[in-house]
Chains A and B, each alone.
Chain A
Amino acid sequence: MDRDITGAYTKSSTSGSISSCSDLSIEEHINSISTDSIPLDQVIPYLTKHHSFIYFTSKGHKAHSMVYFTESLNILHILTDKNKMKKVFTPDILDISAGICIQVKRESENIYPINIRTRNKVIVLGSKNLNDRDFWYSCAGILLKYAKECFSSVGLRRYCDCVVKNKENEEEIIKMRENQYIEWLKVRYYEREVQSCEKESIRCLMNEIISTVELNEYQQSLKHLERKVLNLIGDKFLLKQSQGNLLKSLQQKETEIQTLTDSFASVRNHLITLSTQFIPSNPWKSIIPFLSFVDLMILKGVNKKIRKIIFFYLRNKSNWRKIVSCTLYPRKISWRLYVNNFYDTEIAAMGQEVLPGVIEEIKQDVIRGLPDQFEEVEEILIGVCALFPNVGYCQGMQQVAHFLLGAFRDSNEVLGALLNLLRPPFYLGDLWKTGFTRLKLGIFQLKCLLKLKLPFMAKHLKFIDIRLDVIVTPWLLTVFTCFIAKQVPLKIVHSIWDLFFVYGWPALISASLALFSIYQEHVLGLDLEDTLRVFSGYVNCNYLLKEIKKYEVSQNYLDELEKAFCLKEDAYA
């Protein structure tokens, strides 16, 4: 925008310089007037007369014409023979000059031209007479000088008249000229003023344009903002609506709270009235049977009253069974407590000395077949031999000891547990003793039960002519720990042992029956070799516990079978 302003400024300045140039030429004209030869009173009448000249058209045609100045001297009339009038204003004429003479071939005469130059064009007139032309030309030149002096086309005649009248009175004329010059200077001053005003106005205009553009922009942004405001107002309205809804729901909730608190207060009052009627009894007695052993131990530390109750609760052996059967975790604690509950586990005496042969035997058996913890197992087995010399060491015991060591993680505890397990109702002592009386009894019991509960299995075993003890002996002698080597999960062996700890010998019988029922579907129809291979291989025992529940055997029934077995033995004896 600034550039435009400066541009306009420079333009105006150049126009000013042009005007100053013209000023100089005007001053020269003023000075040169006095040197004219022809007096003005002769010139004016000569020029107002009609003179015949040749007018050259723009296309170069010649035409005879009459040329004269009007009475007011301000217009030059050129009247052609075709009655066309050409008007040239005197102030428009820049200069009048004589041209070089033109010779026309057809005519013998020469034509002397006059060139009249205006701002727009050049008018060419021609005369056949050289003197006529020169005189008119010089007269017209004088008139032009005066016209330029006069500065006004209208008052030219009057000026000229004045000039003629006061020819003698030169001083007045000079004064007038000076006055006129002063006037002209004033005009120039005003022109400059006008120019500066123009500049100022242009600047103002530019500024206005800029401001209008800015205004437009601001208006646009204003519109944008207005739109935004409208949106925000809409949002505000929505929010107000939701606020109203929320307030409503809040009121609803408050009323609900009020009702609830009312009902709560009424319930509490009711409770208070009830509690005043209620005579307190000890609640722990009813809770304790549902707690695990660990919880009981924790509760014991709470206060004296609870400790006393728990102590009385634990005095009853049947309660122990409940605890152990309900909460078998962690096994170490439950097994130990369960076993210790029957007998005093303290290892009273050092026992008898163990024969070096037996120790050697134990050492070799422990190293072969067991994965780790040789020394601990050895220690346990030697301890058993020392304390129960009539039981001694039997192959299979090392696996049991290793298994128990995995559960108890302390060889002394394992020894204590084993010492209890050797006695009824677990009968492990009788199981391992020389002669295997328990084993034989167990096999007899299983044989009878198989016939009753798994008749197909019994028939199959009979058909392939296999003695039951081949299969069952490893199971019973290792108390099912031999299954660990068959990749049966330890969890399952653990659960068999849980049952063994709780129920004693019958658990082993029912576990054996359950195993037979699991093997049954794999075995039926096979010959002796394949049958034995199946029995010695891996078996999926995931459903073993369910099966064991199915094949639960009552102690009474086993007692009856024992009696029958003893009779049979006696008969043989």
Chain B
Amino acid sequence: MATMECKIVTLGEGRVGKTSLALKYVKNEFHKDEISTVNANYLTKLVQIPQGSVQLNIWDTAGQERFRAIASNYYRQAKGALIVYDITDRKSFDKVVSWIKELKSQAEKNIVIVVAGNKCDMEKERQINRPEALEFCRKMQIRHFDTSAKSGNGVEEMFMELASQIFEANKGELGQSGRNSRRGKITVEKTKHRENSGKKGGCC
């Protein structure tokens, strides 16, 4: 069975728990006071799904507003995006909308987006109603998960869902990319080309 390599970015407002979610999933670690990410972290994990196996290369980006300008560098070739919001922070949920808009306009067309309402272990301080979030996601035709990086609730399912959706979406390219990946040079050229086109698009 062929392995599909795919790039995933985590997006979202600062301090919502992007790094924690990625770390929990890949290394099963949780630090209460994770240091703020400057720019981006890189993590990988091989996922087994019923259809095959997917190598998830997770780019965990910085959440602060001013890093958003750089974030485009990361989601440009991404096949999947994980948008995280904090259920105890209204503002972070509002950011989700703008992120989805940006992704739809800037990223690749078949990008798979998943929304995660993080910190669901702090149900008492909840500010965003679950029905509201679900309704919003249904409209956008995006899967929504309640997760907790602290307890690990929903983290595994969310990434599995993401992997299988990406697999489905890129089924056709599997053979092609597999052939290309054997010869590194071609991929490099390809990516370069895409990069340039992306930049131009961004500037205009």
Contact = CB atoms under 8 A, between A and B. Distances in A.
A368 B33 contact: yes
Given A368-B33, A395-B67, A463-B184, A470 B39 contact: yes
Given A395-B62, A465-B187, A572 B44 contact: no
B48 interface: no
Interface stretch (A100-108, A207-215, A359-367): A359-367
A435 B69 contact: yes
A482 B62 CA distance: 15
Interface in A445-487: 462-463, 465, 467, 469-470, 473-474, 477-478, 482, 485
B38 A365 contact: no
Nearest to A371: B33
Interface string B69-90: 1100100000000000000000
Main secondary structure of the interface of B (DSSP, over half): mixed
Main secondary structure of the interface of A (DSSP, over half): helix
A470 B69 contact: no
Interface residues of A, number: 33
A469 B42 contact: no
A539 interface: no
B42 A532 contact: yes
Contacts of A473: 38-40, 70
A536 interface: yes
Interface string A359-398: 0010011011100000000000000000000001011101
A361 B14 contact: yes
A364 B36 CA distance: 10
A572 B200 CA distance: 8
Interface in B161-198: 184, 187-188, 191
A394 B69 CA distance: 13
Contact of A395 (B14, B42, B44, B57): B14
B64 interface: yes
Given A465-B188, A573-B203, A365 B66 contact: no
Contacts of B35: 368-369, 485
Nearest to B184: A463
B123 interface: no
B34 A368 contact: yes
Interface size class for chain B?
Answer: 20 to 34
A529 interface: yes
Interface in B27-48: 33-42, 44
A477 B38 contact: yes
A186 to B, nearest CB: 140
B77 to A, nearest CB: 10
A434 B69 contact: yes
A94 interface: no
Contacts of B41: 536
Nearest to A478: B38
A394 to B, nearest CB: 6
Contact of B33 (A367, A395, A462, A470): A367
Contacts of B69: 434-436
A528 interface: yes
A65 B199 CA distance: 181
A572 B38 contact: no
Interface string A67-111: 000000000000000000000000000000000000000000000
A434 B66 contact: yes
Contacts, number: 73
A477 B155 CA distance: 31
Nearest to B55: A529
A438 to B, nearest CB: 13
A361 B36 CA distance: 11
A394 B66 contact: yes
B150 interface: no
A478 to B, nearest CB: 6
A395 B187 contact: no
B36 A528 contact: no
B119 interface: no
B106 to A, nearest CB: 16
Interface string A219-262: 00000000000000000000000000000000000000000000
B34 A477 contact: no
A470 B62 CA distance: 11
Interface string B56-69: 01000010111101
Contacts of B199: 572
B24 interface: no
Contacts of A463: 184, 188
Most A Cβ at <10 Å: residue of B14, B187, B191: B14
Contacts of A572: 199, 203
B18 interface: no
A276 B192 CA distance: 82
B144 interface: no
A528 B5 CA distance: 13
Given A395-B62, A467-B73, A477-B39, A364 B15 contact: yes
Most A Cβ at <10 Å: residue of B39, B40, B57: B39
Contacts of B70: 436, 469, 473
A474 B36 CA distance: 11
Nearest to A531: B42
Given A361-B14, A469-B73, A572-B203, A474 B39 contact: yes
A446 to B, nearest CB: 14
A329 to B, nearest CB: 30
Contacts of A485: 35
A485 B14 CA distance: 20
Given A365-B36, A473-B39, A529-B44, 5 more contacts: A361-B14, A361-B64, A396-B36, A435-B69, A465-B188
19 contacts: A361-B14, A361-B15, A361-B64, A367-B33, A368-B15, A368-B34, A396-B38, A434-B66, A465-B187, A465-B191, A469-B39, A469-B70, A470-B39, A474-B38, A474-B39, A477-B39, A529-B42, A529-B57, A536-B41
Interface of A: 357, 361, 364-365, 367-369, 392, 394-396, 398, 434-436, 462-463, 465, 467, 469-470, 473-474, 477-478, 482, 485, 528-529, 532, 536, 572-573
